[in-house]
Amino acid sequence: MQKINIAIDGYSSCGKSTLARQLAEKLNYIYIDSGAMYRAITLHALQSGWLHDDGFEREKLIAALPHIDVRFARTPEQDKAVIHLNGKPVEHLIREMRVSARVSEVAAVPEVRAKLVELQRDMAREKGVVMDGRDIGTNVLPDAHLKLFMTADPMVRAERRYSELKEKGMQVSLDEVHRNLLQRDEEDSNRAVNPLRQAEDAVVIDNTNLTLEGQFQKALNLVEETTRAA
Ligand code: CDP
């Protein structure tokens, strides 16, 4: 069967990565979590001391960009590819609230976007990719055969993300998670470069009242229809 590219965009914490992962597994496609790449660059800026309570030394980050290595790679312990920053696996660290609190600021820097978008397009060249993010259908892969735009009620999203973080053993409050996702939605939708937008040809999935299985079946039907027509 012919392979297609699938772009999944939408608001913070609305289950994009869960759906993308399920689809990739079912179809034997490669899943690319573009948000993890922005989070890894943000982690680097935090570790380098360029993000302060009252500012961001963006020029230092921009100057260092050619030397920051962000990639998905396997680890000896894990079978699947995970995000690496300068050769180290950082999946757990990038999910911390200190990264979530600053990632939209870093993702608004045009030089950061240019670097990551180029890497993302390279990874999708051979097709058979499910990529999730904010600008995949509009900017990274405007020719993707199938584009989904996901949304859900903000409080439902906050509760889901809060449970996820708690399960990972992180110290957070529901209120902090809720405020963070509203703030990121606002910053991601209003930035100058490649803001979060629904592509004109995207199919909207509001999963406020959908089960994971219901959402997956809906998306899988769309993939099958699209693949037949491709
Ligand atoms: O927390 P959630 O899973 O919703 O977000 P994420 O996919 O991990 O993305 C984290 C942040 O990276 C977003 O809030 C955006 O600021 C940025 N991002 C972006 O600007 N463009 C993308 N294609 C993906 C993420």
Give the pLDDT confidence of 143-180 residue by residue, as tens digits: 999 999 999 999 999 999 999 999 999 999 999 999 99
The answer to whether the CB of 141 falls within 8 A of the CB of 131 is yes
H or E element, residue 211: none
pLDDT of amino acid 164? 94
Ligand 1 centroid–CA 203 distance in Å is 20
In 3D space, the residue among 141, 125, 122 whose CA is nearest the CA of residue 133 turns out to be 141
- Quickly count: other Cβ atoms within 10 Å of residue 71's Cβ: 15
| CATH (residue range 5-229) | 3.40.50.300
Give the closest residue (by CA) to ligand 1 atom 3: 13
Residue 97 is which amino acid? Answer: M
Phi-psi region of 128 (alpha: psi -120 to 50; beta: other; left: phi over 0): left
Ligand 1 centroid–CA 134 distance in Å is 6
Give the closest residue (by CA) to ligand 1 atom 10: 35
pLDDT of amino acid 152? 96
The answer to whether the CB of 223 falls within 8 A of the CB of 146 is yes
Give the closest residue (by CA) to ligand 1 atom 23: 133
* pLDDT 10s digits, 181-209: 999 999 999 999 999 999 999 999 999 99
Ligand 1 centroid–CA 222 distance in Å is 24
pLDDT higher than 90, residue 3:
yes
Domain ranges of the chain: 5-229
Distance of CA 132 to the CA centre of its chain: 5
* The residue to which tokens 């890497």 are assigned: 119
Does the predicted model carry a pTM greater than 0.75?
yes
The answer to whether the CB of 162 falls within 8 A of the CB of 156 is no
